[in-house]
Amino acid sequence: MEYPFLRMIGLGSGGAVDNTKYEWQYDELIPVTDTSSMNYAAGGTKYTVANGGHFRPGDLFLVDSEIFWVIAVAGNDLTVKGGMCGTTPAGHNGSVTAKTLYILGNANVEGSSPGVARQVVTSQLYNFTQIFSEDVEIFGSEVEMNEYGITGLAKLDYRMDKRLRELYMKMERGLWYLKRGEATSNNVPRVSGGMAQFLGGGTNKAGATLEESDIIDELEVVFNACGQDEVPSLMVGNSWVKRKMTGWYRGLIQTGRAERVGGARIDTIETDFGTVDFLLDHLVKPGELYFVNPQYIDSVVLGSRVLSEMDATLPGKDHIARRILGEYGWRVKNAQTMPWIYGFSTTT
């Protein structure tokens, strides 16, 4: 009956929105590295890169051990001067594996004029609110019956508690797996997209065993792209992942003497890229492991439409009924900092 991830982020944690479609902005810093797949001959004056917008005249960049100076930028073609700062001009073969270009800053000559200001495109991400509800009723005869100590209207409260727990679990599973859906007519509901809407394609293990190195690799990718502060602080997975993680370190655990206590449990791992906690969640499908930054995930509520109880008793019907209804949506920011792994074996 648990819903651990939903409990962690909280319903309505992102505040109220005033429309069934809501937006948030996304942009990024200009990267300080780029790549090139061209074969560069020593002493050349042109270097073709993957993203010319990462460069401006006056930039210095490093390829292998040679430093280049950018004279002009035209699309993805850089006019360059190699062998700068006493480095040796050389050829750089990037046709097989793309060479990495490390941008080292900008060096201007005396009396230089202002350059062209650069900026990245700001995108508007969006989602929809979704109407969630559950219905509860008891019949007239049930009000008068004593069923295992539960009598009268207490049965209605008991059933409502059960339906609420079920609703919360289904909402959390929707947070993991739902894709965004627009109400194209009065007969089609709005659906709020969850992690599946905003996260990338993930890493497919294709039936292979999950290894400790897989976790380190995913954290390293985020570190190289976004820096230490954006490395995920939490892993979320099902019971198989938890058992695997404990198994990796079981032989390394040292405990004090205890006559009636045995076993081991690992809840946190230390890595080269920071400390990562593990949240055990039965609502994540087996064979999947998510790396999340909880501070970038929240839930919004449409106006004042929080989950509330309303009377749903029909006149003349021999029953007492209640309806629980609220309207919420999910917001997932900085999704590029939250990788995931799927398709690994759950038997080995």
- Over 90: is that where the pLDDT of 101 sits? yes
- Over 80: is that where the pLDDT of 209 sits? yes
Q: How far apart are CA 132 and CA 168, in angstroms?
A: 10
Taking residues 204-224, report their average pLDDT: 96
Maximum C-alpha span of the chain = 95
Q: Name which residue leads in pLDDT, 162 or 259.
A: 162
What's the pLDDT score for residue 250? Answer: 85
Could you tell me which CATH class the domain 4-26+125-252+263-342 is placed in? alpha beta
- Please report, for residues 75, 145, 154, 265, 266, the alpha-carbon distance to residue 246 in angstroms, rounded to integers and kept in the order given: 51, 49, 43, 6, 5
User: Which segment of 119-123, 185-189, 190-194 scores lowest on mean pLDDT?
Assistant: 119-123
What's the pLDDT score for residue 287? Answer: 94
- Over 80: is that where the pLDDT of 258 sits? no
What's the pLDDT score for residue 153? Answer: 84
The per-residue pLDDT for range 57-98, each reduced to its tens digit, is: 999 999 999 999 999 999 999 999 999 999 999 999 987 789
- Over 90: is that where the pLDDT of 262 sits? no
What's the pLDDT score for residue 285? Answer: 95
Q: Name which residue leads in pLDDT, 283 or 153.
A: 283
- Over 90: is that where the pLDDT of 218 sits? yes
Half-sphere exposure of 280 (CA within 13 A, CB side): 13
CATH fold of the domain at 33-106 = M1 Pyruvate Kinase; Domain 3 (2.40.33)
- Over 90: is that where the pLDDT of 117 sits? no
- Over 80: is that where the pLDDT of 116 sits? no
What's the pLDDT score for residue 152? Answer: 80
The per-residue pLDDT for range 1-28, each reduced to its tens digit, is: 789 999 999 999 999 999 999 999 988 8
What's the pLDDT score for residue 260? Answer: 81
Mean pLDDT estimate for the chain: 93
What's the pLDDT score for residue 173? Answer: 96
- Residue 86 identity (one-letter amino acid): G
Residue ranges per structural domain of the chain: 4-26+125-252+263-342, 33-106
297-302 and 16-17 beta bridge pairing: parallel
Tokens encoding 145: 């019956």
